[in-house]
Amino acid sequence: MMKAAVISEFGEPEVLKIEKREIPKLKTGYVLIEVHAAGINRPDIFQRRGNYPAPAGAIQDVPGLEVSGKIVAVGEGVDDSRIGDRVMALLSGGGYAEYATTHIGSCILMPKNLNFIEAASLPETLFTVWHNVFQRGKLKNGDRLLVHGGSGGIGTTAIQLGCLFGAKVYTTVGSEGKGTFAKKLGAFDFVNYHEVDYEKVWRNEKINIILDSIGGDYFTKNFDLLEDDGTLIYINAMKGAKVELNLLKLMQKRIFLTGSTLRARDESFKAELAEEIEREIVPLLMNGKFKTNVYKAFPLEEVVHAHKLMETGDFLGKIVLNMNRK
């Protein structure tokens, strides 16, 4: 048996309860991870509220999309030599627990200079940013990238990677302190969206890629701001998914409009993505050019407090659950 944080019903953070559960069984191609830490992400909040169900075949009532830990057992088709590997892994669910399973292709060997808490903060954001900004957005040296929400997990990752690959990065944030933090990560400029309109401030900056998780009224502003032949990428829609699209403007400016969700993608897609991340980003982690940004780690038993902090937005970087293993 193992401890897990379970969604007892949909609602506020208090619906998360610590329960005993059976250790999940292995499927072909899967590994069992002894979880040392688990990252907390915005989709976990949506799942707890009942707005973002886990995909078919995943654990439905235990959130958690990323973990770090040790492989302690392997399923059919996975070499026994992987037992004992220290990994950071992407999951479809079930990460808020002492043990979790995932396909071997979604596991990345932990760089030796990272601890488990640092490593648990990375998979969801690395997979999301690399696929959307680099594969779909085709970011290249000299591009001007706008990242909305630059102080959270996705934002801090996108800012750093954008800068490391030669882009000039702009970001929107909710306070001057968060803006200062973003600039330390490499952002060229920031706008406090509580005070000024980013579309008006940057209308002459020739921004050609925008990564947006906000939606709502940002959609039209993004279109107006983008340069001709620019790319608008959506990974969430916190202010609303239904927007009005001016097709004439789309055609006139030749805008590329794209977006994706990661959780339900198939195992082969995630494995190919993991290989690119190992090749392109892990060396940047090992040499210290890309830095982890863990704001606070909570024991599993304090998961309610962790979710409350996530919902306030009053943090920088990532929030992590620590299983306190020795």
| pLDDT tens column, 115-148 | 999 999 999 999 999 999 999 999 999 999 999 9
Which pLDDT does position 326 carry in this prediction?
A: 66
Give 297's contacts (C-beta < 8 A, 6+ positions apart): 37, 117, 319, 320, 321, 322
Instruction: Give 270-306 pLDDT, tens digit per residue.
Output: 999 999 999 999 999 999 999 999 999 999 999 999 9
Distances (CA, A) of 71 to 2, 36, 196, 281: 16, 11, 48, 22
Q: Which position has the token pair 């998360």?
A: 16
Cβ 113 vs Cβ 48: under 8 Å:
no
CA–CA–CA angle 231, 271, 215 (5° rounding):
30
Residue 218 backbone phi and psi in degrees, to 5: -70, -25
Mean of pLDDT values over 7-21: 97
Which pLDDT does position 324 carry in this prediction?
A: 86
Which pLDDT does position 155 carry in this prediction?
A: 96
Cβ 304 vs Cβ 7: under 8 Å:
no
For residue 63, pLDDT beyond 80: yes
Mean of pLDDT values over 243-251: 94
Which pLDDT does position 57 carry in this prediction?
A: 86
Strands in the chain per DSSP E: 2-7, 16-21, 30-40, 66-74, 86-90, 99-103, 107-109, 144-148, 168-173, 189-192, 209-212, 231-234, 256-259, 294-299, 318-322
pLDDT-derived band at 325 (thresholds 50, 70, 90) equals confident
Instruction: Give 182-215 pLDDT, tens digit per residue.
Output: 999 999 999 999 999 999 999 999 999 999 999 9
Whole-prediction pTM: 0.95
Instruction: Give 79-94 pLDDT, tens digit per residue.
Output: 999 999 999 999 999 9
For residue 37, pLDDT beyond 70: yes
For residue 23, pLDDT beyond 90: yes
Beta bridge partners of 173: 192
- CA 70, 72, 74, 78 dihedral sign is positive
Neighbours of 17 (CB within 10 A): 14
